[in-house]
Amino acid sequence: MSTRRAPAAVLAAVLLLAGCTSAHKQPPSPGPAPDLTSPPTGIAVDGGPFRSGPVEAPRRGAYVGAWIKPAELTHAGRLEAVDQLEADLGRRLKIINTYRRFEQMVGTESDRDFVAQGSTLMVSWATGDNRSIVDGEHDQLIREQADAIRDLREPVLLRMRWEMDRPNLRATMWSGADYVAAWKYVRDIFRREHADNVSWVWCPTAEGFERGDAPDFYPGDDQVDWTCADVYAGERFKPIGTLMDPFLRWAAQHPKPIVIGEFGVARAWGSAGRAAWLQDAERTFKANPQIKAVAYFESDPDGNPPTKQFQLAGDQPAFRAFHTLAKDPYFNP
C-alpha cells in the first residue's frame, strides 16, 4: 500500500491485518432476518456536539465510507477501486479506510489523491509489540509516521492497532495495560512531532464487549477522540443492533462520537438476507445519534469461506440496500 507495485503476498498480509482470514468450515444455520417492521435498536444518548479532534463529527447525521479491496495493491489499483465504488454509488465517500503495517508510511500518491478529492483518510495502523514500543525500540519509525501524517496537512482518523482485543493478537498486545501504555507513548511522540491533524480512534471488536475484555484496553476519555467498533454478520447472522448492543451501552457512558470502523454482512447469508441486514443497519445507525461515521468492509479476502466474504459488488439486492443508505441525506451531512 505504500509502494508502487506490491506482490500478491503483500496484499494477503494486509488483509490478514484486517482480521478477515479464517479456516474453511460449514456456515451455521442463519437466524431469522431482521424484523424491519419492529422499531430499530437504539440507545438513548446525546447526539452531540462532541469534541472529536481535527476530524470534526457532524452535528447531525453521519459520514459514510469504506475500505475497498483493489484488484492490484498499487496506487492506480487503489484509485480505480475507490472510483468504481463511488461511481456505482453516485457520490464521493467521505471516509476512505486504508490499512498499513507498522513500517508502512502514510502519504502515498493515492493517499494524497483521496485527500485532494475531499475524502478523509482513516488509517488503520498495525503497530507492533506494545512492550517494545514503550521500551523505545521503534521511536524513529513512530516519528517518521507522525511526520508523514503531519505533512498531509489535512485531518486524519488514526486507528492505532485496531481490534487490539482479538485473542490472536495477545502475544504482541500482552494486556490492556500494555496497550494503554503504548497508546500514550505513541501519542506523546506525535505531539512532540507536531502531528496535530490526528483524531485518535480507539477501535476494538464488537465481540470484545460481549466477552467483556475490550474495555480493559481503553486509554481514557482524555486520550481518545472517537470511540469505535468493528462489527460483522459473519459466522453469526444476527441483526447489527444485537451484535453492537454491548458496545453501544458502553459507549453511551463516554462523551465521544462513534465511528463504526468496519461493518459487513457475509455472502453466506444470501442476497435477500444481506439486503434486509443492511436495511436494518441503516435504521440502527440513525436510531443512535452518537454514531457519527460508518465504513463498510467492501472485500472478499482471498481464500476465505463465504462467512468471511463481504463484498457487495455483484450482489444486486445487497448493493441496492447499501446504495440506499449511502444516498440517504442523513449520511450526507
For residues 28 and 305, what is the distance between their CA atoms, to the nearest angstrom? 12
Encode pLDDT of 34-43 as tens digits. Answer: 888 788 878 8
For residues 293 and 61, what is the distance between their CA atoms, to the nearest angstrom? 8
**Long-range contacts of range 168-172, CB-CB < 8 Å, 24 or more positions apart?**
172/128, 172/129, 172/130
Residue 3: pLDDT band (50, 70, 90) is very low
User: Which residues are CB-neighbours of 186 under 8 A, at least 6 positions away?
Assistant: 127, 133, 142, 160
Residue 24 has pLDDT above 70, yes or no: no
Q: Which amino acid is at 41?
A: T
Query: Percentage of residues in the chain with pLDDT exceeding 90?
Result: 84
Encode pLDDT of 65-94 as tens digits. Answer: 999 999 998 999 999 999 999 999 999 999
Number of Cβ atoms within 10 Å of the Cβ of 204: 28
pLDDT at 41: 79
- The answer to whether the beta carbons of residues 257 and 293 sit under 8 Å apart is yes
State mean pLDDT over 9-14. Answer: 45
- The answer to whether the beta carbons of residues 261 and 97 sit under 8 Å apart is yes
Cα angle 81-200-288, degrees, rounded to a multiple of 5: 80
For residues 12 and 301, what is the distance between their CA atoms, to the nearest angstrom? 8
pLDDT at 148: 98
Task: Give the predicted TM-score (pTM) of the model.
Answer: 0.90
Residue 316 has pLDDT above 50, yes or no: yes
Residue 7 has pLDDT above 60, yes or no: no
Dihedral (Cα; 148, 151, 152, 156), 10-degree rounding: 70
Encode pLDDT of 95-108 as tens digits. Answer: 999 999 999 999 99
Encode pLDDT of 207-240 as tens digits. Answer: 999 999 999 999 999 999 999 999 999 999 999 9
- Calculate the average pLDDT of the chain: 91
CATH assignment of 49-331, among 3.40.50.2020, 3.20.20.80, 3.20.20.70, 1.10.645.10: 3.20.20.80
Encode pLDDT of 171-189 as tens digits. Answer: 999 999 999 999 999 999 9
For residues 292 and 331, what is the distance between their CA atoms, to the nearest angstrom? 9
Encode pLDDT of 161-170 as tens digits. Answer: 999 999 999 9
User: Which residues are CB-neighbours of 16 under 8 A, at least 6 positions away?
Assistant: none
State mean pLDDT over 134-155. Answer: 98
Residue 199 has pLDDT above 80, yes or no: yes
Residue 25: pLDDT band (50, 70, 90) is low
